[in-house]
Every structure is written in C-alpha cells, then in structure tokens.
C-alpha cells in the first residue's frame, strides 16, 4: 500500500486525485488531506475517506471543522495552521505527496516533501516558478521522485527517455513544443478584453479548473509560468521552448529530437490522466478518463500565440530569459493582480499592466536561499498592491486573512 497525502484536496486537482485513488483501494491508502479554509468540503472528505490526518491552514476554519465533525471522525487528527501542511508532507507513512495547493501558499510544503525524498506529484507550478533552483536542488539531494502533474509537463515527461535525470535534457533533445488551448478569449479582439468578466474568464472551453489558473489560462500567463516550469523540469533554455496554440487541447505537448522525430502525448482533456500516470508511474492504471476518439475530434489545429494581445505571455517569456528573481516577482505580481481581477477591482488588461509595472524594478542576483525568494515575493506583492489600490490597499481575501491573524 502506498501512503498518499493530498495537499489541496478540496480543489480541482485535489478532487480529481481523490477520484483516481478511489478506483484503486488495494494500491493506495489516503493518509492525509489538507486545504485552506473550506471546512465543509474537508469534513465531507474526512467522513468518506477517514484519513489519519486532516489540516486546514486557516486556524478559524480548522475550529469550524472540528465543530462540524463533532467527534464523528475519531480516527482523524485535525491540525491547524500553515505549518501543519509541512508536517503532513513529512509523515513517515506518507510516501507520495500530491502538491495541489494553488499559488505561493504551496511553496513550503512542496519544498518539505522534496527535501524529505518523497514521491512528489507537482501540480503547484507556482512553487517551481518561485524557487525552481532550490526545489530542483532539493529533489536531487534527497533522491525524491519528481513527477509533473501539469498536463503539458506530464506529456513531455512521457515523451522523454526513461531514467532522464530531473532538470537535465537528454542527449539529442532539440526542442520542447508546449501546447496552449488559448483560453476563453483566444479569438476576442483586443478592444473587447477590457470588458470581460471574471465569470467569462473562469469559463474555460476545455478544462475544468480552479479560478486562479482559469484566469491565468485566459491571460496566457499560465503558458508563461509553464515555460519557466519546463525549463527547470527538463533542463532546456527558454529559446528551446516553442508555444503553440492548439484549441482542441488533445495534444498535450511534444518533444522534438535532433533526428527530426517529434513525440507527442495525446488524450482527452482530463487531469485524471496525468494524475493516474504520476500516481502509478512507471506502471499504468485506470484513471476513469473517457478514451480519445480521434475520428470524433476530426482535426487538430496549431497556431502561434498572439503576444501583443496577451501581454502576460511576453512578460513571462522575458522573466524566463532574465532568470534570477524575475520569475519570483512575475509570479507574485500576477497572484495579486489576478485576485484583484476576480474581486472586480482591476480589469482584464490591468493584470498585465500591473505585472509590467512591478517588473520594471527587480533586484539583481539569484536567490541563494528560501529567505531571498520570500523577501522578493513580499516586496513584489506590496508594489502590486500599491499600484492597484494605492499605498495601503489589500485584496479582500488578504484583508480577511489579516483579520484572522
Ligand atoms: P483550486 O483553486 O481548485 O484549489 C486550490 C486548493 O488549494 C484548495 O484545496 C484550497 O483550499 C487550497 N489552498 C488555497 N490557498 C491555500 C493556503 N493558503 N493554504 C493551504 N491550502 C490552500 O486550484 P486547482 O486545483 O485548479 O489548482 C491547484 C494547483 O494546480 C495550482 O497551482 C494550479 O496552477 C495547478 N494546476 C491545476 C490544473 C487544473 O486542471 N486545475 C492543471 C495544472 C496545474 P480551500 O478550498 O480551502 O480554499
């Protein structure tokens, strides 16, 4: 039995992971689940799964969770606070950690799992974008097994030779071709983008995902974050990554070799495929995904992304080339701007404008330690808030968090 911890179990990737685990009760045991503040959903998951541990980062919500359970799940220890997530990642009975928390909040627990040498299923791309060199060094030092969950990176991983070392490109690899659906505003003229709503941005044409990554897909920042992620995971330069808009989301990405071969991974757009792949790797297990019918799909289209209309992608490409603290600043400014957009305090084109303004001033040098990353992250968030709300403003979710603290 493989012991699994699902960090971010109440989210879209978290729920898909539980769905795959439920199909294989003889193979996996769910040891721990964790989320931020959704006490009702976590209580429901505890009643269904009876894990040994459950945690909520928000202490007030954890108290609510204990009240909701009212002694009904005596076998589950409920932990509270952001430190609890790291504790769960380190449990000796946990062999496999699904890192599915959204945003920078997932960084510490992801790093903890890497340092502890766990099998790390990495969905939380922001931790890699922020602290890529630290995370990859931790994986190499501990011998952790790093398996990408992002469908594109999971596809690339599947197209690489077996036993390719994490962070290094195999001999003969020429390029990586990263596909992008183009998001819900793929064909919208630039003038119309100022009026788009958070609801429209979150209505992705092919994938069902959390709100933050849905907005990132709509701005194409998601593809920019994935470009940075690909460079770190597979040891390629930004110039070796070509981004292709592929509206059908059937070809999840491709790898080109020097002999002219191009290998691709295809499948229905459903996160349960990469999740099942990573859970069972190197074996294959049933994921519950609808099998691909290429005749029904009919045709597969590819085109270049429009970086004039979708400035976030150009900003991320620049950050990938610059390296150092640039990706940290990019990610932090993006998280603040996306939250402000979701709260209707910033319009859609404003997301790129805020990031661009914050990116104008980035300290030189590469982060040597987590403290450098966290300092650059905090400073960039502050500058993004100042830009959006004036000197003392916060997003509503931050005000709530500060009130709880
Ligand atoms: P969701 O918004 O659906 O879920 C986010 C999860 O993170 C929830 O469980 C949430 O808990 C938890 N969380 C949020 N903030 C904190 C915090 N401060 N401390 C602890 N837990 C927290 O996101 P997704 O599942 O869509 O995405 C998760 C990650 O996976 C992201 O990094 C995303 O980029 C990546 N990813 C997602 C894909 C998808 O298809 N959804 C595809 C590829 C990558 P609560 O419910 O309590 O708020």
pLDDT confidence of residue 398:
58
Convert the pLDDT of each residue in 266-322 to its tens digit: 999 999 999 999 999 999 999 999 999 999 999 999 999 999 999 999 999 999 999
| 403: pLDDT strictly greater than 50 | no
Ligand 1 center to 296 CA (angstroms): 32
Convert the pLDDT of each residue in 163-210 to its tens digit: 999 999 999 999 999 999 999 999 999 999 999 999 999 998 888 899
| 356: pLDDT strictly greater than 90 | yes
**Confidence at 394, pLDDT banded by 50, 70, 90:** low
CB contact set of 319 (below 8 Å; sequence gap of 6+): 224, 228, 326, 327, 329, 330, 359
Q: Write down the pTM of the prediction.
A: 0.96
Q: What gap in Å lies between CA 213 and CA 338, rounded to an integer?
A: 9
> Concatenated DSSP letters for 69-117?
HTTTTTT-EEEESTHHHHHHHH-TT--EEEE---SGGGHHHHHHHHHTT
Which residue's C-alpha comes closest to atom 17 of ligand 1?
Answer: 36
Which residue's C-alpha comes closest to atom 27 of ligand 1?
Answer: 102
pLDDT confidence of residue 13:
98
Burial group, residue 133, by CB count within 10 angstroms (0-12, 13-18, 19+): middle
Instruction: Report which ligand 1 atom has the smallest distance to the Cα of 208.
Output: 40
Average confidence (pLDDT) over 218-236 = 98
User: For ligand 1, which residues put their CB under 6 angstroms from it?
Assistant: 8-14, 35-38, 57, 82, 85, 100-102, 105, 123-126, 150, 207, 209-213, 271
Average confidence (pLDDT) over 257-271 = 98
Average confidence (pLDDT) over 83-102 = 98
Which residue's C-alpha comes closest to atom 2 of ligand 1?
Answer: 210
Q: What gap in Å lies between CA 99 and CA 131, rounded to an integer?
A: 14
**Confidence at 355, pLDDT banded by 50, 70, 90:** very high
Question: For a pLDDT cut of 70, what percent of the chain falls above it?
Answer: 96
Mutate to test the pocket of ligand 1, among 6, 7, 12 (most ligand atoms within 8 A of CB): 12
| 405: pLDDT strictly greater than 80 | no
Go through the chain and tell me how many residues it has: 405
**Confidence at 3, pLDDT banded by 50, 70, 90:** very high
pLDDT confidence of residue 263:
98
Q: What does the mean pLDDT of the chain come to?
A: 95
Ligand 1 center to 106 CA (angstroms): 9
Ligand 1 center to 314 CA (angstroms): 25
């Amino acid at each position: 039995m493989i012991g699994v911890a699902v960090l971010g179990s109440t989210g879209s990737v978290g729920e898909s992971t539980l769905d795959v685990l439920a199909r294989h009760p003889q193979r996996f045991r769910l040891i721990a689940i964790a989320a931020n503040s959704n006490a009702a959903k976590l209580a429901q998951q505890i009643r269904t799964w009876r894990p040994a541990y459950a945690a909520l980062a928000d202490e007030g919500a954890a108290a609510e969770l204990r009240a909701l359970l009212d002694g009904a799940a005596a076998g589950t220890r409920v932990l509270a606070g952001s430190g609890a997530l790291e504790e769960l990642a380190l449990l000796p009975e946990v062999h496999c950690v699904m890192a599915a928390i959204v945003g920078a909040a997932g960084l510490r627990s992801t790093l903890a799992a890497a340092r502890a040498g766990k099998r790390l299923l990495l969905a939380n791309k922001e931790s890699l974008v922020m602290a890529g060199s630290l995370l990859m060094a931790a994986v190499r030092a501990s011998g952790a097994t790093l398996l990408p969950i992002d469908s594109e990176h999971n596809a690339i991983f599947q197209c690489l030779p077996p036993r390719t070392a994490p962070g290094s490109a195999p001999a003969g690899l020429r390029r990586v071709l990263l596909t992008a659906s183009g998001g819900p505003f793929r064909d919208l003229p630039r003038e119309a983008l100022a009026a788009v709503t958070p609801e429209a941005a979150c209505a992705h044409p092919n994938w069902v995902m959390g709100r933050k990554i849905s907005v990132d897909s709509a701005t194409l920042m998601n593809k920019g974050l994935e470009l940075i992620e690909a460079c770190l995971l597979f040891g390629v330069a930004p110039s070796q990554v070509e981004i292709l808009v592929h509206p059908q989301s059937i070809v999840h990405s491709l790898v080109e070799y020097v002999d002219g071969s191009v290998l691709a991974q295809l499948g229905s757009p459903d996160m349960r495929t990469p999740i099942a792949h990573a859970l069972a790797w190197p074996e294959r297990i049933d994921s519950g995904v609808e099998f691909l019918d290429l005749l029904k799909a009919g045709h597969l289209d590819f085109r270049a992304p429009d970086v004039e209309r979708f400035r976030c992608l150009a900003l991320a490409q620049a950050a990938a080339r610059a390296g150092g603290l640039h990706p940290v600043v990019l990610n932090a400014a993006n998280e603040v701007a996306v939250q402000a957009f979701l709260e209707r305090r910033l319009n859609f084109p404003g997301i790129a404008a805020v990031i661009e303004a914050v990116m104008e001033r980035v300290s030189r040098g590469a982060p040597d330690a987590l403290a450098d990353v966290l300092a650059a992250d905090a400073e960039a968030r502050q500058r993004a808030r100042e830009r959006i709300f004036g000197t003392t403003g916060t997003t509503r979710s931050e005000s709530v968090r500060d009130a709880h603290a």
